[in-house]
A and B are shown apart, each in its own frame.
Chain A
């Protein structure tokens, strides 16, 4: 279980190798990588800047990660989130989940992304090819995605 916040790029293959080295209990590894899209609302994006709240970010990512581990009985997990300025195509977030069987690894990866999007203290600012800039608005759908997990917890 680990969470990192960093400027540098990450290497998915190296991260997965490090998580699985010397283990024979893991049957499934799911990775999710989030990239910067080159357009927003039909406008060409020049760059994306990610601001975060140092210290709180790490703490919040670890809380989210621990919640996923408890809920899905994971054998391991990793969240890496980058901050700084990025160009279209850059990878900015990585989630890796490890479990005995695939179902919980898939579900946990989706859970981690939904939680991260609505809880981790990051803010995106878009700079467009025409020189204008704007802060990205929180999407209503991210809140609804989170509500899905909360509802399923209530039903248990």
Chain B
């Protein structure tokens, strides 16, 4: 985990959005939460969500499958969430 003094995002309000089967498994399209202690990156948040209940565990159970975007730009799990307004979790895209 990252340096808590420089990357701390705790207490920050974040909109979390879910798409496709991640949305169906979680059971909602969007929620607003306060970033908990110890969550500094998108990957940290995914782990924290996965421990939140059976439906979240089901959505996030396969590590590396669920993708993320931060303020509508694709990011890797290591991306820091400090200062972000919105994070989204979704399956690999299948457009075109």
Contacts and interface: CB of A to CB of B under 8 A. Distances in A.
Interface of B: 17, 19-21, 69, 72-74, 88, 90-96
B22 to A, nearest CB: 9
B93 A121 contact: yes
A118 to B, nearest CB: 7
B92 A116 contact: no
Interface of A: 34, 50-53, 55-56, 59-60, 81, 93, 113, 116-125, 135-139, 142
A138 B93 contact: yes
Consensus secondary structure, chain A interface:
mixed
Given A123-B90, A135-B91, A138-B91, A53 B96 contact: no
Given A56-B73, A135-B91, 6 more contacts: A55-B72, A56-B69, A81-B96, A93-B96, A117-B96, A135-B94
| B69, B74, B92, B94, most chain A CB atoms within 10 A | B94
A138 B93 CA distance: 6
A123 B96 contact: no
Contact of A93 (B20, B21, B69, B95): B95
Contacts of B19: 51, 53, 121, 123
